[in-house]
Structure 1
């Protein structure tokens, strides 16, 4: 049933691309035919809506590709990954898009993990992008090595996430009925994608109150090699996630 559902989601998402592309082409043609300011403003709004549809289709396809919650049968292309360098890449990419915010990677030692760098960076990027939607002025990214895990924290100075909703927000298409969600938009898939990526790696993602900035603190927890000895990756991820 899960496989059928995933195939249906992928098929529908791919089919959506064709009419969206046709609409974009038609809008560009009409835009080239008129200089009326009112019409051009309307066309720009339509183009913005089309861009949102494209992003939504990409998110749905990514979510479907990640597969079931069990993460069984997934083959990761793991390699030694410098988490701090990855954090700097994510911040350097997103900071120019949010000039009103101060994004920084806190100082610390280099921390390497065995992970799929493409998907791990996607998970961290989703968390930082999520923080950008909710922060008032500051976002901190930190990387630390603990006794049993490598930890990547993303903290913001926004309103935070109510304790009662801290599990709900990881469900696909979940939207909290509060000011944090209403003013930020989003599709409700970004955090679900993060959770699935971490399940692939045998890790987890958790959210708490940021003691440093007062808003939310999202944490990616990756097991150290000694934690994974003698048990599958996804078992450790479920255990720490439940904790």
Structure 2
């Protein structure tokens, strides 16, 4: 999960960084393009007016006209050769007709307008920043020039002149009455300003200069305005982030999806009946917890299905023997000659019933342990106390076998931390198994080491061959396959399951008595009070 988080987090940071970088580049490019548009529209007409004045002047008077025009502009005005302009500017002039805007290296923006001789151009600029006063200064030159043209003609010819001037500009121009401009603008005229830049109407910008007589003004506008670059850039930014995020997430999720496909294939294999299918955890590092949980589930499922199959086999095979005995006993009861023989047949039937009950109990216990999570109620159990209960019971079941405890194995008594029912059942099964195969004696020994208690159950029987020792802990395995064998071969399987639930272990070896030794290991603690100090070797049977 941590690896997946770091992977996705790094991807998100990468997306945000790329989006920020691209957003800055796009914003800068769009702002530059919009600035060029505004400068071309705002100053292109003025450049055309100046070019027209110079074209109309005689060649010998051009310098004087140029000097006069310079006095009307607040920024440089000069005539340059077209050949001195960059090729890109020539292309702009060719595309736009006669005007181009460009940004000379190391200077602010300028506007050029080609003269009619085809070899020269008028250059206006560099322009000041777009502050209010600077705007008035930058547009004042050509507004004064246009107003001068309107002063020298009659009112009847004025409209024709306005139409000609309008052709030079990309925004409206007209002659308006002074009451049509804001009162603040009129007050500025009275204070001596001849060009005023003002806002009117729906937040649009205009400029005006008074005409002689004081009743009219030459008005330009609304001027081209800068686009809402930030708003459009924000929209672009959002779209860009979403696009990059989609690409990044797709790239990040692709290996994860490939890893999850391994889990999917394993699930399909299990669904098809291959219960041994597992997910290779090395190939699904990003989804390793999922793979581990899946493998645990698959192992549990395989165990449950195997248990069910074994149960079916046990029901069909193991139950057949006691049922046959019961049926045979019933038949014998009907043919009994006297009451004594009849009583013997009933005892045989009762024994077969007990065997069947024991068998069913073992089956149910094994199924319960295999199919359900362990519910352990652990407590401290004194080993000697448990043996005092279990040994007399098994001594009665196997009266010819001598059960005893080796008290010299430990100097201090042992207490085992375990579920009482499970512990009694496990040790009881071991004692029963030893009593069944022993010749004459069964020895119980206990030792403590590093907080663990080992309990050994030794018998003097024929022992278990090494080749068979691994099999005896499997369910439904009996080394004596005779029809007289008791149980379903679940005793040691139950012991192994109980010990494993407690975090212990069980193994088989050769006993000092010559038979089999079953050693179980349990969690425990060493206590100071004495329990196993009554006899060095205590005879319980």
Name the TM-score class by shorter chain.
Answer: 0.7 to 0.9
Q: Answer whether contact 1:56 1:187 (CA < 8 A) is retained.
A: yes
- Of 40-49 and 83-92, more deviation after overlay is shown by 40-49
- Of 198-207 and 87-96, more deviation after overlay is shown by 87-96
What residue number does 2:502 align with? 201
Matched position secondary structure for 2:506: strand
How many Å separate the matches in 2 of 1:3 and 1:169? 20
What residue number does 1:106 align with? 406
- Give the deviation of 1:75 after TM superposition: 2.7
What residue number does 2:521 align with? 221
Q: Which structure's relative contact order is higher, taking Cα pairs within 8 Å and 6+ residues apart?
A: 1
What residue number does 1:49 align with? 352
Q: Answer whether contact 2:435 2:442 (CA < 8 A) is retained.
A: yes
**CA RMSD, 1 decimal:** 3.3
What residue number does 2:209 align with? none
Query: Which structure has the larger Rg over C-alpha atoms?
Result: 2
**2:393 paired with 1:90:** no
- Give the deviation of 1:89 after TM superposition: 1.6
Q: Which runs of 5+ in 2 are unaligned?
A: 1-300, 526-541
How many Å separate the matches in 2 of 1:183 and 1:161? 19
What residue number does 1:154 align with? 457
- Give the deviation of 1:183 after TM superposition: 7.0
Matched position secondary structure for 2:478: coil
Q: Answer whether contact 1:148 1:224 (CA < 8 A) is retained.
A: yes
Matched position secondary structure for 1:67: helix
TM-score (norm 1): 0.73
What residue number does 2:434 align with? 131
How many Å separate the matches in 2 of 1:5 and 1:76? 24
Q: Which runs of 5+ in 1 are unaligned?
A: 226-243
How many Å separate the matches in 2 of 1:197 and 1:188? 16
**2:459 paired with 1:163:** no
Count of equivalent residues: 207
How many Å separate the matches in 1 of 2:472 and 2:438? 17
How many Å separate the matches in 2 of 1:36 and 1:113? 51
**2:365 paired with 1:65:** no
TM-score (norm 2): 0.35
- Give the deviation of 1:92 after TM superposition: 1.8
Q: Answer whether contact 1:195 1:205 (CA < 8 A) is retained.
A: yes
